[in-house]
């Protein structure tokens, strides 16, 4: 029997495949638009990746170029490795006590991280922005220097130190400018259907976590209508799950990976039907103005609060273009804007659910 691939290799194979399937689904939706730009890169500190980005040249004289379904989008993967500094290890031990480490040693530990991250900003104000991210992280014992992975590329053929800690994280969330309850229900139902076969406690716990995580304190509102968000999924008990759920939740690397794959594989079905339905809806200049204001809120969250953005910008050798791919092409900030303040408007209806998140899923547990 052939040896099972290391989890890092399984995750790498999966995110490459997932990136391809998502980009192809989006390109199929708008065949008259230019294809996504495939931009492969190598990290000098260790690792590689590919950014697949859609953006229209603002100087283009071709009128059809400014009538695309998407305005800006990116579906990125990265597979990186290197040395985790003592300060970062100390922070991670707060949630991963299994990491055996003497903070007085001053030594670094090898890390490996692989993930897919996407953000899609449609042109039409009635079509929602969407974000998804699925990732794997592991820390190893230091390998012998002579057997260490070369700094340019990750290679499974090279000797690796013993894995001493690992976990998965991820999620997906929807950010509309205009509220369509049926779209919110479809998005959440699809995610719930992906979660439930792995444990019925996962969706409600991670839905609540998503509402709490994507919150903009200085605005007192969530970024969007949520989805799921999770981190630190490993064999250990999870603080977001009940004692009973922790006894029966996925625990092995393969079972947790299967859960992550189920969520990742559900992305196209959760979002593309909404985009198909909304991208041709007639819209006004006022609705476009509101969309750009909402995009401003998106920028505020990503640059001020998002942990992933902060981690990326602080990582040595960070690829800034890929990290800031999540920002919209155009956004707006109005001083003391009155949009959304008048009762019984469509803008006010959105703000009501952003200030008091609600349950959207309509499907029963499996």
What are the catalytic residues?
Answer: 131
For tokens 């670094």, what's the residue?
A: 108
d(CA 291, CA 288): 5
Q: What are phi and psi of 353, to 5 degrees?
A: -85, -20
* Element housing 38 (H / E): strand 37-42
Q: What are phi and psi of 131, to 5 degrees?
A: -135, 145
Give per-residue burial for 194-223: e unless 16+ CB within 10 Å, then b: bbbebbebbbbbbbbbbbebbbbeeeebbb
The long-range contacts involving 313-319, CB below 8 angstroms and separated by at least 24 positions, are: 316/45, 316/82, 317/43, 317/44, 317/45, 317/82, 319/41, 319/43, 319/49, 319/51, 319/78
CB contact set of 24 (below 8 Å; sequence gap of 6+): none
Token pair recorded at residue 285: 């200049």
Token pair recorded at residue 235: 């064999």
């Amino acid at each position: 029997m052939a040896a099972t691939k290391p989890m890092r290799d399984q995750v790498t194979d999966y995110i490459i495949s997932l990136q391809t399937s998502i980009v192809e689904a989006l390109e199929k939706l708008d065949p008259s638009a230019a294809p996504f730009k495939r931009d492969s890169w190598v990290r000098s500190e260790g690792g590689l990746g590919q950014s697949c980005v859609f953006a229209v040249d603002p100087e283009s004289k071709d009128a059809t170029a400014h009538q695309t379904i998407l305005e800006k989008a990116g579906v990125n993967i990265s597979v990186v490795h290197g040395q985790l500094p003592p300060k970062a290890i100390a922070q991670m031990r707060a949630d991963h006590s299994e990491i055996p480490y003497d903070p007085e040693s001053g030594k670094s530990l090898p890390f490996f991280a692989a993930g897919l991250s996407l953000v899609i900003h449609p042109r039409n104000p009635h079509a929602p922005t969407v974000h998804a991210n699925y990732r794997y992280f592991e820390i190893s014992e230091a390998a012998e220097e002579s057997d260490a992975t070369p700094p340019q590329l990750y290679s499974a053929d090279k000797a690796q130190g013993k894995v001493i800690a690992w976990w998965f994280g991820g999620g997906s969330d929807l950010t509309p400018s205009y509220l369509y309850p049926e779209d919110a229900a479809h998005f959440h139902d699809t995610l719930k259907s992906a979660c439930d076969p792995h444990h019925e406690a996962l969706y409600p716990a991670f839905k609540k976590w998503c509402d709490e995580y994507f919150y903009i304190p200085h605005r007192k509102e969530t970024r969007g209508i949520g989805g799921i968000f999770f981190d630190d999924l490993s064999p250990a008990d999870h603080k977001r799950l009940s004692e009973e759920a922790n006894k029966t939740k996925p625990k092995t690397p393969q079972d947790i990976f299967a859960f992550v794959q189920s969520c990742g594989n559900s992305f196209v079905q959760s979002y593309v039907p909404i985009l198909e339905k909304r991208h041709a809806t007639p819209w006004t200049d006022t609705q476009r103005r509101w969309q750009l204001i909402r995009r401003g809120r998106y920028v505020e969250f990503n640059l001020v609060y998002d942990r992933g953005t902060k981690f990326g910008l602080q990582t040595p050798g960070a690829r800034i273009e890929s990290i800031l791919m999540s920002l919209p092409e155009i956004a707006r900030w109005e001083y003391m804007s009155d949009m959304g303040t008048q009762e019984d408007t469509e803008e006010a209806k959105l703000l009501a659910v952003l200030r008091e998140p609600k349950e959207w899923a309509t499907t029963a547990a499996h």
